[in-house]
Structure 1
Amino acid sequence: MTFLSVNLNKIAVLRNSRGGNEPDLATAAHTCLDAGCDGLTVHPRPDQRHIRPTDVHLLAALLRGRGEYNIEGNPFAPARGEYPGLLELARETRPTQVTLVPDGDGQITSDHGFDLTRDCDMLAPLVAQFRELGCRVSLFVDAGGEGFAEAARIGVQRVEIYTGPYAEAFAAGKAKQALELCAETARKAQQAGLAVNAGHDLSLDNVGTFKAAIPGLAEVSIGHALITESLYSGMANVVRRYLQILH
């Protein structure tokens, strides 16, 4: 069974664009959990363009005993204003999983992963600190990447394959090569003892094909497409449709 973690960033984007509390993040979270999703994902950024530190705490309290909590972010981004840094947020909320992502303010969304053959030495002390907090540690990686044995050596437990290029190829009717690259990357990671997650631009149209190609796929994190589809079909209904595919 592949877990579905619903990314709520876009709910916060809509709320922040107008001010106030609508759409309400807690209501969206309850809707997804009541529909059966396995957990929630947020990606707090230093510029607070969507999820705020207060949201991270709100969802941590809401999720206790109900599902997994995955917090994404750049562990090297320093504290800024009300944003205390990813490590401090994890210390305060103790999520099930942290997914470390090498993103910056200039990126509209995460668009590349770590180079494990280069970055593991600088990641090692941070991985150790997250592990000491009881968090499972996952690293965002590109399909075709290497260095999974080194990632396992420093204490990483999972990788999340960046599926943006796969989704783009799927939409163009040319998914075969991109899907094979993802599958080969997953095999290499699993052979190194790492579990495999996936995320970015996965949708109801393409997630079934992706899951079928990745035996043992542990988790998918889906936000933008799920929220878009929910505008047309309703959030609870869309969550249930994903679960039919993944479970």
Structure 2
Amino acid sequence: MTAIEPRLLPRTSVISPDGVLSVGGVAITELAKEFGTPLFVYDEEHLRSTCREAVQAFGADSVIYATKAFLCTALARLANEEGVLLDVATGGELFVALNAGVPADRCVLHGNNKSDDELRTAMTTGVRHIVVDSFNEIDRIEALHAEGVPAPRVQLRITPGVHVETHAYISTGQDDSKFGFNLNNGDAHKAIARAQSSSSMTLVGIHCHIGSNVVAVQNFRDAWRVMVN
């Protein structure tokens, strides 16, 4: 049997001498008997302590959980209670968050293929901000505002032109990425100027995403330097 790397398990995990894994004091064999398999098991104590560590390190309202990793009403409530904002990428994720009692202004709407309905809902409910991914999205926000929909706060997703050490299919910060406004060809500066001059939105910042499964700290340093400069 393949050994499980302890750091990949919840902090409350214990493996007994006979090889039975327990999470939060409950044997997963018993959970499997009760609920069947496959089964996702989340440990509340582990999640809350991790949220608190992140908030302590980065400050209040500076930590945002990407709900695409996993979302249900219980997890949305937990994150909100621990001072963590929610990054939602679809209307469905926003619906779950709002129905969990999370205020709209503690949600950030992300995603590169937002529908008009998703933008309208985000603007109407008053999400914290919308991360805008393209000129087309700027056009559609302006059109919605012209119809009377409230003007949103926005961040612009910038493509910083940074190479990262991950699989090519999940690398998103390089110049040929299809996501965001390219910095090196001038699109980013054009988008910033347009957002700043638009009465249909309030520009509150810029954002970048360089890829998934990135573990090299230097990759984040490189992106940070580009964005700051």
Q: Computing the radius of gyration over CA atoms, which structure comes out larger, 1 or 2?
A: 2
**Higher-RCO chain (CA-CA 8 Å, sequence separation at least 6):** 1
TM-score by length of 2: 0.50
User: Normalized per residue, which structure has more helix?
Assistant: 1
